[in-house]
Amino acid sequence: MNNQATTERKMGVLAVEKRRYPRHTAEFPLDYARIEDKGTYGGMVANVSEGGLLVYLPQRMEIGAVLKIEILYVQGLEFNTIKAVAKIVWSDLAAQESYGEYRYGLQFLHIDEKESTRLIDLLKEIGK
Whole-angstrom distance, CA of residue 88 vs CA of residue 61: 8
Question: Residue ranges per domain, the chain?
Answer: 22-126
Question: For residue range 74-106, what is the model confidence (pLDDT) as tens digits?
Answer: 988 889 999 999 999 999 866 655 556 899 999
pLDDT in tens, 11-28: 444 444 456 777 888 899
Evaluate whether 4 touches 49 at the Cβ level (below 8 Å).
no
CATH class of 22-126: mainly beta
The answer for residues whose C-beta is within 8 angstroms of residue 3's C-beta and 6 or more apart is none
pTM of the predicted model as reported, rounded to 2 decimal places: 0.78
For residue 3, what pLDDT band results from cuts at 50, 70 and 90? low
Per-residue pLDDT tens for 24-61? Answer: 888 999 999 998 888 999 999 999 999 999 999 999 89
